[in-house]
Chains A and B, each alone.
With several copies, the nearest count.
Chain A
């Protein structure tokens, strides 16, 4: 190691955090898997596993280079780092205390989980081969540019738009892309006609637990070092998650019963919302952000149901809306003493304006680009299985497998 540019302790910390974030993609698998009908559990699980494998290779061969290679006009990275060429395992060229290779693999985990979150909109009806094509295109044309804009010295970074750990890059991108997808792939047969109750809530809670756990790596790791920012991020992440869990649960209690899915959806809402702000706000702000995120995302879910949009597992309502809200919250609650940036509460509206602009443009881009890609894949290959295959279930029709569980 070139210990003049590298800190060993930060490198070790980031490696562990990376493993945590990688576990989260599997967490998404279990979270989503428990929410579908039994005949589609295996299919739902596989979409996340495949997302992870696929993005790993894409990232290795060219995705990382597109996102973090030398900047081209603020829009996209160059191809210099394709095949991880010139990505050093023992030195840093990125002004960080960790080797470039560690940065690369940490970012890989983010790219992968984003695609996994998007599969919410494809639940119980996507054709596997088309998903693979869509996934490759989407990561390349939607995720990689957005990651470049915000974190790879692209236009958003240049303008000063901030996203601590992915509220914009990961959650807005995934959530609004999922929404756009629904308008191409359309609703599941029988949606709104008969109930499509989750078949395995314990599995969903296993996923939720892994997500909560992994999120510490996601947010604390995004400080790229062990320092007060990482410590703060760790603590506020937990507070927001807890606040979101209880506020969503309470909201649904008022209208009916406090289900476990309310609670765990609130957790993810709280986590998604604190993500962009975790390095900039303190504990009490985190409590406010989590509580509000739980409520807002709850109403977003109600709204989507009323619209009859079958964005089946609520990537939009939870990640999309939560991430958008959190990105704004950075502009509201940011505290100079914590992250060096002032929000509205400390009297400055500049950052809020920037956040709003950034989130807005990226939301639009995600929607339009995803719609385009999905439309194209649908025309050429068909995004959706046949009605009979859907009826029989994707486990059997796509994978030839079933589960007793």
Chain B
């Protein structure tokens, strides 16, 4: 069982969600974040001077999925979140030890 931490443009959220839905990925947790990547945000010209705007608003999706589904999710994200411009986002993947469902008490360790 792995966690995907997916950072995308807020305006792509609807499209990404739709793409995921279509392939049956429903569970997710969403957080409003701000971020910058290696190109350090966006660089504006202002009267000849440069002005760096780092910390652009982004949306973070967290999805816990079975190991074998990880690549499917990555594929969908790469397709739906893509614009080709700087700031399209990243996916980081972690190992999950265990998952518990509060309502049912059900514990999943292998998924």
Contact = CB atoms under 8 A, between A and B. Distances in A.
Touch between chains A and B, by CB atoms below 8 Å: yes
B53 A194 contact: no
Interface in A22-42: 39
Contact of A39 (B42, B45, B46, B57): B57
Contacts, number: 23
B53 A392 contact: yes
A389 B44 CA distance: 7
Given A194-B11, A194-B15, A386 B45 contact: yes
Contacts of A388: 42-44
B108 interface: no
Interface in A156-204: 190, 193-195
Interface in B2-41: 11-12, 14-15
A182 to B, nearest CB: 21
B93 interface: no
Contacts of B43: 388
A194 B83 CA distance: 13
A391 interface: yes
B44 A386 contact: yes
B44 A194 contact: no
Interface of A: 39, 190, 193-195, 257, 386, 388-389, 391-392, 396-397
Interface of B: 11-12, 14-15, 42-46, 53, 56-57
Given A190-B11, A195-B14, A397-B44, 18 more contacts: A193-B11, A194-B11, A194-B12, A194-B14, A257-B46, A386-B44, A386-B45, A388-B42, A388-B43, A388-B44, A389-B44, A391-B42, A392-B42, A392-B44, A392-B53, A392-B56, A396-B53, A397-B53
Nearest 3 interchain pairs by C-beta: A194-B11, A392-B53, A388-B42
